[in-house]
Structure 1
Amino acid sequence: MAKSLLLCLLLLSAYTYVFAHYNHPKTLVSTVTKNPILPIFTFTLNTNEEFFIHISGPYIVRKCNDGLPRPIIPCGSAACAQTRRVNPYQCPTTQNTIINGRCACQATAFEPFQRICGSNQFTYGGGLSMSSLNPRSPTVTFKNVYSLCVPNIFLPDFPPGVFGLMGLAPTALAGWNQLTPPNLGLKKKFALCLPSDENPKNKGAIYFGGGPYKLQNVDARSMLSYTQLIKNPRKLNTYFLGLKSISVTKKKILLAKNAFDFDGNSDGGVTLSTVNPFTTLRSDIYKVFIKAFSKATSGIPRVKSTTSLEFCLKSTKSFQVPRIDLEFADGKIWKVFAANSMKKVSDDVACLAFLNGGNAAEQAVEIGMHQMENILMEFDVGRSAFGFSSALGLVNASCGDFQTQP
């Protein structure tokens, strides 16, 4: 009898382990939408709450205006110390506060559209739920989420339904990192496919934990090229890339050898933005780039610009512009075709979707959302690698074709 009971317990234990292992989600996924009111991309949590995707945000920022007390994170805790390490460099140092006689951690967020700083209580709790690609656990709820609790006044321009900001920076308290061990067990990576305005489906996808990224029955991981992510010790909230050169029609534009390097103040470098709609180049780079692109398109009639984009061309059915190549230090090339280099502003006018950031631009190059649309990007933070595909239109696909349901 004892042996039979022991055997049953062993079998139950094995079954429980296998069942738990089989049901453990490896990938969380959500549909990405471009907001029609404010030029931001959002994805859904808790069934109906939209969160702004901010790849330079150090943590999750959530609206909380119900007046209810929030769990206190002590000022001397490790979590509070982490907020100090990633305090937005645009903002003053955060000061803690006293709640019911206890020192409560305060944190600061930088609102990128109004460019204002706001401090409030850093807290935890209030679970978030998200879809999984595992059919046995199609919805996953992760609890005790660390977040900055902010009043509505801090996000006044955010459209209705946008509940907060999902910070996805390379930081310990970022949204992706709160899904890794010991919290949920996902890998230290996330992937984005941002929908294009020209895409009639106008949907994209965000994945947490890695692939597969199923695109028309193909795992799109096979389409990715990887380059190294570069660290900037003074700007820990930002992903930087090791850009080596820019080419137009496969001819490198002539720039200073250190054009893309950090300067003594840690400014410069090449980064990515889900805030700025178009790629911004520091003036010394922009002027040489525009000259090269103008020469390469000399056979296309110029049109006077009526937008912030200053270089515009007459667009026709046979309209073709040269490819722009971003070559990284490890030899990998991000090929920018017309769909991502030009912005159609009317039926017969298209403008080069690059901006002059001025002589005092914080970054040498900031790759904007238009250049990232309709391609797959993977941020493999665990390996300090950035993966990118070619334009999905080249394989007759779009971001809306990715699987986002089990």
Structure 2
Amino acid sequence: MIFLIQLLVIVLAIITHEHEVIAVYVPPYISVVNKHTDAAKPLYTVPVVTSYVDMQFLQENFLIDIDAPFTWHDCIVQWNIYPGSCPPNKICVSPVSCEEFDCTQVRASYSYKNPSCSPETNSSTLPGWGFCTCPVNVVNPMTSSCDQALLNYDIFSSPISACAPSSSCASFPANVSGVMAFSSSIYAYPAFLGPIKNTLALCLPSKSSAPGVLFIGNGPYYLLPQSNVDVRSYLSYTPLLKHKDSFGYFIKVNSIVIKKRSINVPTNTATKLSTLDPYTTLRTDIYHGVVRRFSMVTKRLRHAKPVAPFGLCYNTSTDGLKVPNIVFNLPDGKKWIVSTPNSIKQITNDVACLAFVDGGATSEPAIVIRTFQFEDNFLEFNLENSTFGFSSSLLSKQTSCANFNFTLTKSP
């Protein structure tokens, strides 16, 4: 059945070249990535086919979450789906019973330690259906509030997903109605794709006007204008680490270097990669070390009053902002270089800030690298080899995440 379901999956992609955006059909498992700036924080989505109506596949935008254990979205669970039974403009799917293996497995394989989450029970049923449903907890990435969703069989977004109330998506950007799981969970989207699930490649755009790209499956990957250069030649690799109670992706950072001076990172420190918040957070002790050093090497720049949530800002009304790189030293001598486009956030015409945030004295993980630092970087998560590939800024290669040439990319 799963193999038949896979045949229904269609992914749309957009090629951006010389300021022209052309919609085309491309082989499955390649998708555009859109940046949304109309919510409380920038977020990134992929278009997902969610239903088949009047001989057409319909799609909606889902947030990219590389930590979520399963996909969830705004939909309705019904036990007897037939033509005309689903309310207009709604997606209806079949329920998973609390007595089924998938219900037990999903609940056992993850846990949200959010105090607002209610206990998951087996007391609910659907009208006319003789079995209990399978409530699971989902956490809203915008508000961190917890809602209960019903586990279901979804033939489009993944074999197992969950239906959440419409209110769960109320704070999302416009035209975004769900969360797509791209984690290492067996219920995340990469696992749904079977044999090609071993690699997830992600390139987040820096502008909402030009999309980036997401691949599931091996490359090669090509960029314009260097259409004969495989992006993988730009990558350095470091091991992906496992972390208890999480399906997310973790790496080891040995130290943070700013202009040849190292800021100590304790040996037991975990570094998480996240797609749901914009700015890298550092535990207070690490953050203070980074800010002190960065302030010292930029002391000739005019400082400005800090703008929350940042602690170090500069006046850019008259001075050009030239700052040193911030380097994450990784195992085996690998270096992830964070250059000015990924370290400085322009707040207004007159103020720019160091785009790192104090995560608190007890924050765990101590370092979380987030999306502003990802933009226009090519990232590759190889689940088979447990490695993480990173390019540092593609702008130094005179290209960006908006410049993928799908026509030269081999189908997985």
How does the TM-score come out when normalised to structure 2? 0.80
| Matched letter for residue 212 of structure 2 | G
2:293 alignment partner, SS class: helix
The answer to whether structure 1 residue 340 and structure 2 residue 338 are counterparts is: no
Change in CA separation of 1:354 and 1:249 when aligned onto 2, cut-off 3 Å: same
CA distance in structure 2 between the aligned counterparts of 1:338 and 1:95, rounded to whole angstroms:
49
Which residue matches 1:16?
Answer: none
Which residue matches 1:87?
Answer: 111
Asked if structure 1 preserves the Cα contact closer than 8 Å seen for 2:45 and 2:64, the reply is yes
Change in CA separation of 1:101 and 1:68 when aligned onto 2, cut-off 3 Å: closer
1:169 alignment partner, SS class: coil
1:293 alignment partner, SS class: helix
Aligned partner of 2:160 among 139, 146, 150: 146
Which residue matches 2:302?
Answer: 301
Which residue matches 1:211?
Answer: 219
Change in CA separation of 1:213 and 1:61 when aligned onto 2, cut-off 3 Å: same
CA distance in structure 1 between the aligned counterparts of 2:176 and 2:123, rounded to whole angstroms:
28
1:390 alignment partner, SS class: strand
Which residue matches 1:35?
Answer: 36
Q: Alpha-carbon deviation of 1:119?
A: 1.6
1:401 alignment partner, SS class: coil
Total equivalences in the alignment: 351
Structure 1 segment 303-382 matched on structure 2, within 5 A: 303-315=304-316, 318-382=320-384
CA distance in structure 1 between the aligned counterparts of 2:310 and 2:112, rounded to whole angstroms:
29
The answer to whether structure 1 residue 58 and structure 2 residue 81 are counterparts is: no
Q: Alpha-carbon deviation of 1:178?
A: 0.9
| Matched letter for residue 95 of structure 1 | T
CA distance in structure 2 between the aligned counterparts of 1:202 and 1:317, rounded to whole angstroms:
29
Asked if structure 1 preserves the Cα contact closer than 8 Å seen for 2:237 and 2:387, the reply is yes
| Matched letter for residue 125 of structure 1 | D
Which residue matches 1:96?
Answer: 122
Cα distance per residue 1:214-261 (max 9 Å; x no partner): 21212211111111111112x222211111111101321145x43x52
CA distance in structure 1 between the aligned counterparts of 2:79 and 2:133, rounded to whole angstroms:
15
CA distance in structure 2 between the aligned counterparts of 1:86 and 1:362, rounded to whole angstroms:
18
Q: Alpha-carbon deviation of 1:210?
A: 2.3
1:103 alignment partner, SS class: coil
Cα distance per residue 1:7-64 (max 9 Å; x no partner): xxxxxxxxxxxxxxxxxx9861111111121221011122541111011111111211
CA distance in structure 2 between the aligned counterparts of 1:73 and 1:355, rounded to whole angstroms:
41
The answer to whether structure 1 residue 241 and structure 2 residue 257 are counterparts is: no
Cα distance per residue 1:71-111 (max 9 Å; x no partner): 33243444223312113233455223443222332222111
Which residue matches 1:44?
Answer: 47
Aligned partner of 2:201 among 191, 194, 202: 191
Change in CA separation of 1:163 and 1:112 when aligned onto 2, cut-off 3 Å: closer
CA distance in structure 2 between the aligned counterparts of 1:48 and 1:402, rounded to whole angstroms:
22
1:306 alignment partner, SS class: coil
1:37 alignment partner, SS class: coil
Asked if structure 2 preserves the Cα contact closer than 8 Å seen for 1:87 and 1:107, the reply is no
Which residue matches 1:166?
Answer: 180
CA distance in structure 2 between the aligned counterparts of 1:202 and 1:241, rounded to whole angstroms:
29
Which residue matches 1:280?
Answer: 281
Q: Give the alignment's Cα RMSD to 1 decimal.
A: 2.2
Q: Alpha-carbon deviation of 1:298?
A: 1.1
CA distance in structure 1 between the aligned counterparts of 2:399 and 2:253, rounded to whole angstroms:
27
1:389 alignment partner, SS class: strand
- The higher radius of gyration belongs to 1
CA distance in structure 2 between the aligned counterparts of 1:336 and 1:286, rounded to whole angstroms:
15
Change in CA separation of 1:312 and 1:377 when aligned onto 2, cut-off 3 Å: same
**Which runs of 5 or more structure 1 residues have no equivalent in the other structure?**
1-24, 129-143, 262-268
1:113 alignment partner, SS class: coil
